[in-house]
């Protein structure tokens, strides 16, 4: 039998009908999973006992984490999750009043090879299904509700490149924004990408109200190829796609920029970045490098970080320095890696 979370709504209704049940039973199952977070059919008490028994083999893989770590200040929790085939991914819940934000992984590993990112050290192991992505969101929401809070935001900023798994990420977004599903506003969902131009444009067409964040990291093509060696598109191609996205959605784009000491953190780099994105309704989020074993680069000085921010702001570019949460449990930007060795311990 299929995993219920891996079925989209039409497929779920068809599956339920194949069991000799009316389609409205499928709608009940959908609401149980995505509104109430119940993925064990035996716990779906609004279903007949016979149907619950028939669905016993079609329940979703349990979401009990292999390991959970919480930062010293309590603001961030990270779960190591084992998928049905044994692959490991990490999911992060960030608490910052009045928000609870889940950082979702979209792939096991990542193929982009960003030199400053621990996830990229693994290479791409496989794509996550829409059900595996939603399983993370359901888990995070249950954590929030157990604490008397509510999950308010979703960011696709975990392991993997979301737009390289476009079909499954798009389906997950559809379920997150489905009024009969998670019922989340698309304005509270952000997709972060290193820049796959054709899929940046698809995202604008399919999900025009979802926020776009582009991990640029360098204003110059040669330097960007050093920092993001696998991403095939040039800086110009990425920015052309971003301009198309902005025109179609009228939305603001966020450029994420990881700062590495002596590599891309000078005021000259900031001026060239400002020139590159001139005319765009944009915001730059600066991220001082979060160190991890095996990654390249050093964290910039506070003086260099503030100087970079000041130069951008003097050029008329709204800029913030990312508030760092979860560094002490390796849950910050660029630190996720689904560590097999740690799970065995």
- pLDDT score of 327 more than 90: no
Residues 141 and 33 in one domain: no
Catalytic residue among 103, 114, 117, 333: 333
Average confidence score pLDDT of the chain: 91
Residues 272 and 320 in one domain: yes
Encode pLDDT of 224-280 as tens digits: 999 998 867 899 999 999 999 999 999 999 999 999 999 999 999 999 999 999 999
pLDDT of residue 344: 42
How much of the chain exceeds pLDDT 90, in percent? Answer: 77
Mean predicted confidence (pLDDT) in 182-209? 97
Q: Which residue among 58, 82, 99 closes a domain?
A: 58
Catalytic residue among 90, 132, 161, 256: 90
Residues 205 and 303 in one domain: yes
Encode pLDDT of 64-74 as tens digits: 688 999 999 99
- pLDDT score of 331 more than 80: no
Residues 32 and 115 in one domain: no
Residues 41 and 174 in one domain: no
Tell me the CATH number at 15: 1.10.150.530
Select the more confidently predicted residue: 139 or 65. Answer: 139
- pLDDT score of 342 more than 50: no
**Has 14 been annotated as catalytic?**
no
Confidence of residue 120 (pLDDT cuts 50, 70, 90): confident
pLDDT of residue 336: 73
Domain limits for position 35:
4-58
Q: Which residue among 23, 39, 58 closes a domain?
A: 58
Residues 238 and 185 in one domain: yes
Query: How many independent structural domains does the chain possess?
Result: 2
Residues 319 and 262 in one domain: yes
Select the more confidently predicted residue: 325 or 66. Answer: 66
**Has 333 been annotated as catalytic?**
yes
Residues 134 and 223 in one domain: yes
Encode pLDDT of 22-45 as tens digits: 999 999 999 999 999 998 888 999
Residues 271 and 196 in one domain: yes
Select the more confidently predicted residue: 207 or 2. Answer: 207
Confidence of residue 215 (pLDDT cuts 50, 70, 90): very high
Residues 46 and 176 in one domain: no
Residues 50 and 79 in one domain: no
Mean predicted confidence (pLDDT) in 167-172? 98
Q: What is the 3-state secondary structure (H, E, C) of the chain?
A: CCCHHHCCHHHHHHHHHHCCCCHHHHHHHHHHHHCCCCCCHHHCCCCCHHHHHHCHHHCCCCCCCCEEEECCCCCEEEEEEECCCCCEEEEEEEEECCEEEEECCCEEECCCCCCCCCHHHHCEEEECCHHHHHHHHHHHHHHHHHCCCCCCEEEECCCCCHHHHHHHHHHHHHHHHCCCCCCCCHHHEEEEECCCHHHHHHHHHHCCCCEEEEECCCCCHHHHHHHCCCCCCCHHHHHHHHHHHHHHHCCCEEEEEEECCCCCCCHHHHHHHHHHCCCCCEEEEEEECCCCCCCCCCCCCHHHHHHHHHHHHHCCCCEEECCCCCHHHCCCCCCCCCCHHHHHC
Confidence of residue 325 (pLDDT cuts 50, 70, 90): confident
Residues 177 and 299 in one domain: yes
Select the more confidently predicted residue: 292 or 284. Answer: 284
Tell me the CATH number at 185: 3.20.20.70
């Amino acid at each position: 039998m299929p995993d219920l979370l891996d079925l989209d709504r039409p497929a779920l209704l068809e599956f339920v009908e194949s069991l000799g049940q009316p389609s409205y039973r499928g709608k009940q199952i959908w609401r149980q999973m995505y509104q109430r977070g119940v993925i064990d059919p035996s716990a779906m008490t609004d279903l007949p006992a016979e149907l619950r028994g028939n669905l016993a083999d079609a329940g979703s893989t349990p979401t009990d984490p292999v390991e959970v770590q919480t930062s010293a200040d309590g603001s961030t929790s990270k779960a190591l999750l084992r998928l049905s085939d044994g692959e490991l991914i990490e999911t992060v819940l960030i608490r910052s009043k009045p928000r609870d934000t889940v950082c979702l992984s979209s792939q096991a590993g990542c193929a982009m090879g960003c030199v400053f990112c621990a996830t990229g050290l693994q290479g791409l192991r496989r794509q996550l299904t829409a059900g595996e992505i939603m399983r993370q969101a359901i888990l995070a929401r249950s954590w929030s509700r157990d604490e008397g809070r509510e999950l308010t935001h979703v960011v696709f900023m975990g392991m993997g490149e979301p737009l390289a798994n476009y079909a499954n990420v798009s389906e997950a977004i559809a379920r997150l924004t489905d009024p009969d599903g998670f019922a989340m506003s698309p304005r509270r969902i952000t997709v972060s990408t290193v820049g796959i131009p054709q899929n940046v444009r698809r995202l604008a067409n399919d999900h025009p109200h979802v926020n776009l964040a582009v991990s640029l990291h360098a204003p110059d093509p040669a330097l960007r190829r050093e920092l993001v060696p696998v991403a095939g598109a040039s800086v110009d191609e990425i920015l052309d796609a971003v301009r198309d996205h902005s025109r179609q959605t009228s939305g603001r784009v966020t450029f994420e920029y990881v700062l590495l000491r002596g590599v891309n953190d000078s005021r000259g780099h900031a001026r060239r970045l400002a020139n590159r994105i001139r005319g765009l309704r944009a915001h730059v989020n600066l991220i001082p490098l979060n160190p991890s074993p095996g990654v390249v680069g050093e964290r910039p000085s506070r003086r260099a970080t503030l100087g970079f921010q000041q130069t951008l702001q003097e050029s008329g570019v709204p800029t913030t320095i990312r508030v760092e949460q979860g560094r002490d449990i390796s849950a910050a930007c660029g630190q996720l890696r689904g560590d097999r060795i740690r799970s065995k311990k």
